[in-house]
Amino acid sequence: MQSERGRAAAEIGKSICVAAVITLAAVLVLALFVKLFSLGTTAVTAVNQVIKTLAVFAGCLLCLRPGKCLLKGAAAGLGTVVVTYFLFAIVAGEISFGWSNVLDWLFGVAIGAVSGIVAGFVRK
């Protein structure tokens, strides 16, 4: 029988995986639209944030069970942002770090926390 902590870690891990897959798929579709319609960089940045938000929300909604949803959601949001950062860094072939990354991680924590709370209420 799994401990409570092990179950929570499994839920967070599943949520991160689901959100990362959704983010990768959506960014590929976004890249196709950018190529076809030559969108500006401001539009791409905004849409990228929306993609991350929806991906974290979907991961939390699909994978988190009620109980400490705020903490599990925040961890899932942070984990998703970190995992997708490194996945895209691997694709780009370089790692660049700046204050925008820190803000992105804080944004991931906040969105994850809110998504976790919503998932806890929906799945009750």
Q: Over the stretch 75-124, which tens digit does the pLDDT of each residue have?
A: 999 999 999 999 988 988 888 888 888 999 999 999 999 999 999 888 77
Quote the CA–CA distance of 7 and 30 in Å, as a whole number.
Answer: 34
Global pTM value: 0.89
Counting Cα atoms < 13 Å in the Cβ hemisphere of 73 gives 27
pLDDT (0 to 100) of residue 2: 67
- What pLDDT is stored for residue 114 in this prediction? 95
**Any idea what the Cα angle at residue 36 is, between residues 20 and 21, rounded to 5°?**
10
Cα–Cα distances (Å) from 74 to 35, 107, 108, in that order, read 34, 10, 7
Q: Which tens digit of pLDDT belongs to each residue from 19-75?
A: 999 999 999 999 898 888 887 777 788 888 999 999 999 999 999 888 888 999 999
Domain ranges of the chain: 4-122
